[in-house]
A and B are shown apart, each in its own frame.
Chain A
Amino acid sequence: MTRLKALNKSTRNNIIVLGIILVIYVICRILMAAGAMSNLMQGLLVPLCYYSILAISLNLTVGILGELSLGHAGFMCIGAFMGAFFTKCTENSISNVFIRYGIAMLLGAVCAALFGGLIGVVVLRLRGDYLAIVTLAFGEIVKNIINALYVGIDNKGLHISLQDAAALKLAEGGEVIVNGAKGITGTSRDTTFTVAILMLILVYFIIVNLINSRSGRAIMAIRDNRIAAESVGIDITRFKLLAFTISAAMAGIAGVLYSHNISSLVATPKNFGYNMSIMILVFVVLGGVGNIRGSIVAAVILTLLPEYLRFLADYRMLIYAVVLIVMMIFNWNPACIAWRKNHPIKGVLQSVIKKKEGSASGKEGGKAS
Chain B
Amino acid sequence: MSFISYLIKGISLGSVYSMIALGYTMVYGIAKMLNFAHGDVIMVGGYIIFIVMSVSGLNPIVGVLLAIILCTLLGITIERVAYKPLRKASSLAVLITAIGVSYLLQNVALLIFGADTKSFSSVIKLPALKLAGGALTISGETLVTIPLCLIIMVALNIFIKKTKTGRSMIAVSEDKDASVLMGINVNKTIAITFAIGSALAAVASALLFSSYPSLSSTSGAMPGIKAFVAAVFGGIGSIPGAMIGGILLGVIQILSSAYISSQLSDAIVFFILILVLLVKPTGILGKVMHEKV
Enumerate chain A interface residues (CB-CB to B < 8 A). Answer: 62, 66-68, 70, 122-123, 126, 128-130, 132-134, 136-138, 140-141, 144-145, 148, 162, 227, 274, 278, 281, 285, 289, 314-315, 317-318, 320-325, 328-329, 331-336
Contact = CB atoms under 8 A, between A and B. Distances in A.
Contacts of A335: 85
Contacts of B97: 324-325, 328-329
Given A122-B277, A126-B281, A321 B267 contact: no
B102 to A, nearest CB: 8
Interface string B88-125: 11111111110111011001101100000000000000
Given A134-B274, A136-B225, A321 B103 contact: yes
B135 interface: no
A13 B291 CA distance: 40
B71 interface: no
A340 to B, nearest CB: 14
Given A132-B95, A332-B86, A332-B89, 8 more contacts: A122-B274, A137-B273, A162-B263, A227-B291, A318-B107, A325-B97, A329-B86, A335-B85
B103 to A, nearest CB: 4
A123 B34 CA distance: 16
Contacts of B261: 162
Contacts of B88: 334
Contacts of A134: 270, 273-274, 277
Given A130-B277, A314-B111, A322-B104, A329 B270 contact: no
Given A129-B91, A328-B86, A144 B277 contact: no
A105 B77 CA distance: 47
A315 B270 CA distance: 32
Q: 5 closest pairs, A vs B, by CB?
A: A324-B100, A332-B89, A321-B104, A325-B100, A333-B85
B267 to A, nearest CB: 5
B257 to A, nearest CB: 13
Contacts of A320: 103
A133 B107 contact: no
Given A126-B277, A227-B291, A333-B85, A68 B92 contact: yes
Contacts of A130: 232, 277, 281
B95 A137 contact: no
29 contacts: A66-B90, A66-B92, A122-B274, A126-B277, A126-B281, A129-B33, A132-B34, A132-B95, A133-B228, A134-B277, A137-B225, A140-B266, A141-B266, A144-B266, A145-B267, A148-B263, A162-B263, A317-B103, A317-B107, A317-B110, A318-B108, A318-B111, A320-B103, A321-B101, A324-B97, A324-B103, A328-B93, A329-B85, A335-B85
A336 B108 CA distance: 26
A132 B33 CA distance: 12
Nearest to A325: B100
B293 interface: yes
Contact of B82 (A129, A274, A329): A329
A314 B36 CA distance: 23
A274 B278 contact: no
Interface string B270-282: 1001100110010
Nearest to A231: B293
Contacts of A334: 88
B236 to A, nearest CB: 8
Nearest to A326: B100
B20 interface: no
B221 interface: yes
Contacts of A70: 99
B157 to A, nearest CB: 25
A333 to B, nearest CB: 4
B95 A68 contact: yes
Contacts of B93: 328, 331-332
A324 B98 CA distance: 9
Contact of A285 (B96, B111, B273): B96
Interface in B237-293: 261, 263-264, 266-267, 269-270, 273-274, 277-278, 281, 291, 293
A200 to B, nearest CB: 25
B221 A274 contact: yes
A321 B269 CA distance: 28
A144 to B, nearest CB: 6
